[in-house]
Structure formats: structure tokens, C-alpha cells
């Protein structure tokens, strides 16, 4: 097992205190899936009637747990979620399918719920069979020890190369009643989500129907998890699940059956904030990361073009290594814009580093000050902005730098 990496310098200084969400309980344990002497399994239990929505990787080689969850979403109900780290149960063929079936059967029996209401997620090494029998030795204890206040432990149990647990919470009003939203996530490498992140699970006590949750979630990931990248690689295991216990209905919160319901406005705002917070925490824990980078593209022909150009910049190894070296090499940004395959005019292009314009109308800005921009590049958080001067399309994405540590971490990953 590779030596654990030091905590990212971009890690939050404190962790949020997350109060219990009625209808949700957590337990963690050591099943020995891959690692010794660390928690590697998390179980979340939900009260009857809990609604669920989800989005998953668009990889053509999805993991067995992703296939399982997709097929169970149609019912819209959830009673349990089992997550393991250390083994992704991806590219494992028939054995992988049998492992998820065995895992769901084990959880269902311990909880006293239908297998179709059990959701599963796995993260870790690809291509190695998952021994589901390892869960048998800890399942009864997990069920009996589950409690509503185990948020940080739950976030830690699902980590792989992460250096810190990722948590977020917000409060929203639904009608005249206060409801809570809280979530956890894991992810540090293989991050260029095409739906969500490695793994993320969000919970609320709001009484919202599964169909509405799905609409809200699918929209919200566009500006959060689908707008981050660490290394341009989309995982086989990307899973984001949103669970709503409905417990706030007892306090007078209205039951929501339509995504167009005006009562959802504040809930939508809070959900967006939780997902963006978690997504940005994933970037700040990017493997070997030392810089957090926000990239804004304005003036593109349309929003889709702006997004593609922004991701072209964010995924460029040359841009990312320049940032790691604290070099304001705006020529690499020009390169990334030009290769994106979208409309661009060299002579209309403008580029800013940290609010300072460095390039304008096809050449270096006449007021460019190397010393001023060099100071900006020393910051932990750096903003890059590009204006193409062609239209009204805009987009914003987040990434990190690319350092020698990224190579070391991934070179040793299976060691």
C-alpha cells in the first residue's frame, strides 16, 4: 500500500458541523476490502418512504454498482446505501454482477427491506474482483450501530487517494418550514466528470417526489460536478445520489410533486450551493494539487462553445504545469483556446490572470507588468479569464495545477 499523501494545502481549515437529518443514519466499518487497519465501508440507512434520484458516469465501461443503481432508480425509493473503498468492482465481468447481487441481498436481509431499495457504490482499483463476503462479517454491527451524527466518519470511509473528507451543508425554506441539505463526496484523481464526481451522496429531509429530485439534480450538476476537472479522465464509477426522507412534512413542509413548483426556489439555491461546494472541494484535493484555478470564458458564440473552450484550458497539461511553476504563460492559454475546435479570432482575444489583462487583440497587453502577474501566480487560488469577443456565450469551470506529486501518486497507486 502506497504511503498516504500529506493533507492538501488547499484543504478547508475547519469542517462544517452537520446536524442530523431526520430519517438518515450512518455506520462505518473495516471490512478489509483492500486496506488494512482503516475504515473502508459505509452504510447509510433511510426511513421508509425515502425518495431517491441519481446521475452516473457516461463512460461506456461503467462499474457493476453503476449498472445496479441505474436499474433501481426507476422505483424512486431507497432504504439503504452501501459504499466501499479500495475496489471499484469495475471491469470485473460476471463476477462483478454477482458481487453486487450478493451485496444487495446481504444489506436487504440485515435491514429488512427489498433488494430493489438498496443502492451500492464502489471506488478504488479497477479490474480486481470484489469479494462481497467481506461485508458479511461487519453487516450486522453496521446496522445496529448506525446513528444520525456520523457524517465525518462516513465521508472518511469512502476515501481512496483523498487527503481529507469532503462535507457540505445548507439550510433552505420549503414553504414556511426550514429543511436541511447535507452531502459528502470523495474524489482526487480520475476527475473529469461526465455527470457527477467519483462518489457523492446528498441527503435532505424535504418531502420531494423522486421525479422532481431527478430534475433538480440533473440540472444542478451542470454548473457544479460537470464543471470540474483534475486530470481530464472520466471515471467508470462516477455516482451522485440524492436522497429525500420527507421527514419535514411532519413539520408542515409541503409535499412537492412538480419541478415547476415555486416553493422550490430556495431549495434549488441550497442544493446548487451544496453540490458546488463539494465539487470544488474535490478539485482542491486533486492529486498533488497546490493551486485551485477558476477559469471563466466570455464572449463565445454560445454557452456550449464557452464550456468546451474553458475545459480545453482546464485540461491542458501545459497550462496546468505552467500554473504549478507559477509561470503566467498566457501563450499556453492561447494554444488551448485555439485547439478547442470552437470559433475563435486571434485578433479579438483577451486574457486576464487574476484580474490583470495580459493579452489583448492578438498580442501582449501594452501595459503588461511581469512582476505584478508573477505575484498573482504565487497565490493558492488563481482566476483566469478569457474573452473571445464573438458573442454572448459564457461558462465557468474549476481545475487545479499539475505537479510532480500527481505522477508519483498514480505511479504508486497499485503498489
287 assigned binding-site residue: yes
To the query of whether residue 197 is one of the catalytic residues in this protein, the response is yes
Distance separating alpha carbons of residues 269 and 281, to the nearest angstrom: 18
Q: How far apart are CA 163 and CA 141, in angstroms?
A: 27
DSSP string covering 353-408:
ETTEEEEETTEE-TT--HHHHHHHHTSSEEEEEEE-SSSSEEEEEEEE---HHHHH
DSSP 325: T
Q: In the β-sheet with 350-353, what is the strand arrangement from edge to edge?
A: 363-364, 356-360, 350-353, 381-387, 292-300, 393-400
Cell 511581469 found at:
370
In this structure, what is the dihedral angle of CA atoms 218, 224, 229, 230, given to the nearest 10 degrees?
A: -120
Q: Is 415 annotated as a binding residue?
A: yes
* Alpha-carbon span 194 to 350, nearest angstrom: 29
In contact, 330 and 353? CB cutoff 8 Å: yes
- 307 labeled binding residue: no
Could you say which of 57, 163, 169, 197 is catalytic? 197
* Annotated binding-site residue? 329: no
From the DSSP assignment, how many helices (H) and strands (E) are in the chain?
A: 11, 15
CB 86, CB 37: distance < 8 Å: no
What is the C-alpha to C-alpha distance for residues 136 and 377, in angstroms, rounded to an integer?
51
197 is in an annotated binding site: yes
How far, in Å, CA of 196 to CA of 276, rounded? Answer: 11
Residue 249 annotated as part of some ligand binding site: no
CA distance 203 to 201: 7
| Residue bearing cell 505511479 | 411
As annotated, the binding site for substrate includes 160, 186, 197, 287, 410, 415
* Annotated binding-site ranges: 160, 186, 197, 287, 410, 415
Residues that are catalytic: 197
Amino acid at each position: 500500500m502506497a504511503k498516504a499523501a500529506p493533507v492538501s494545502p488547499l484543504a478547508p481549515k475547519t469542517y462544517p458541523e452537520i446536524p442530523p437529518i431526520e430519517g438518515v443514519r450512518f455506520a462505518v466499518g473495516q471490512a478489509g476490502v483492500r486496506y488494512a487497519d482503516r475504515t473502508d465501508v459505509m452504510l447509510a440507512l433511510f426511513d421508509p418512504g425515502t425518495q431517491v434520484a441519481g446521475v452516473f458516469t457516461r463512460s461506456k465501461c461503467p462499474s457493476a454498482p453503476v449498472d445496479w443503481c441505474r436499474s433501481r432508480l426507476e422505483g424512486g425509493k431507497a432504504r439503504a446505501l452501501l459504499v466501499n473503498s479500495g475496489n471499484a468492482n469495475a471491469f470485473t465481468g460476471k463476477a462483478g454482477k454477482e458481487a453486487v447481487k450478493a451485496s444487495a441481498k446481504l444489506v436487504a436481509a440485515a435491514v429488512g427491506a427489498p433488494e430493489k431499495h438498496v443502492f451500492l457504490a464502489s471506488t478504488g482499483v479497477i479490474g480486481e474482483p470484489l469479494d462481497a463476503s467481506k461485508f458479511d462479517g461487519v453487516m450486522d454491527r453496521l446496522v445496529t450501530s448506525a446513528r444520525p451524527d456520523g457524517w465525518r466518519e462516513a465521508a472518511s470511509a469512502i476515501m481512496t487517494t483523498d487527503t481529507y473528507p469532503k462535507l457540505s451543508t445548507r439550510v433552505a425554506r420549503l414553504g414556511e418550514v426550514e429543511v436541511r441539505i447535507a452531502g459528502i463526496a470523495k474524489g482526487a484523481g480520475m476527475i473529469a466528470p461526465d455527470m457527477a464526481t467519483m462518489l457523492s451522496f446528498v441527503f435532505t429531509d424535504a418531502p420531494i417526489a423522486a421525479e422532481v429530485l431527478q430534475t433538480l439534480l440533473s440540472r444542478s450538476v451542470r454548473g457544479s460536478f460537470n464543471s470540474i476537472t483534475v486530470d481530464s479522465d472520466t471515471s467508470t464509477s462516477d455516482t451522485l445520489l440524492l436522497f429525500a426522507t420527507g421527514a419535514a412534512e411532519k413539520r408542515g413542509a409541503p409535499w412537492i410533486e412538480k419541478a415547476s413548483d415555486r416553493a422550490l426556489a430556495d431549495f434549488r439555491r441550497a442544493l446548487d450551493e451544496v453540490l458546488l461546494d463539494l465539487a470544488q472541494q474535490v478539485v482542491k484535493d486533486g492529486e498533488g494539487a497546490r493551486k485551485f484555478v477558476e477559469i471563466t470564458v466570455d464572449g463565445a458564440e454560445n454557452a456550449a462553445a464557452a464550456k468546451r473552450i474553458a475545459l480545453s484550458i482546464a485540461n491542458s497539461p501545459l497550462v496546468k504545469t505552467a500554473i504549478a511553476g507559477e509561470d503566467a504563460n498566457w501563450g499556453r492559454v492561447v494554444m488551448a483556446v485555439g485547439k478547442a475546435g470552437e470559433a475563435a479570432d486571434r485578433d479579438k482575444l483577451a486574457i486576464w490572470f487574476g484580474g490583470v489583462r495580459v493579452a489583448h487583440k492578438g498580442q501582449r497587453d501594452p501595459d503588461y507588468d511581469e512582476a505584478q502577474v508573477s505575484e498573482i501566480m504565487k497565490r493558492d487560488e488563481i482566476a483566469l479569464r478569457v474573452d473571445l469577443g464573438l458573442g454572448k456565450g459564457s461558462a465557468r469551470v474549476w481545475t487545479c495545477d499539475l505537479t510532480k506529486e500527481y505522477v508519483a501518486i498514480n505511479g504508486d497507486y497499485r503498489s
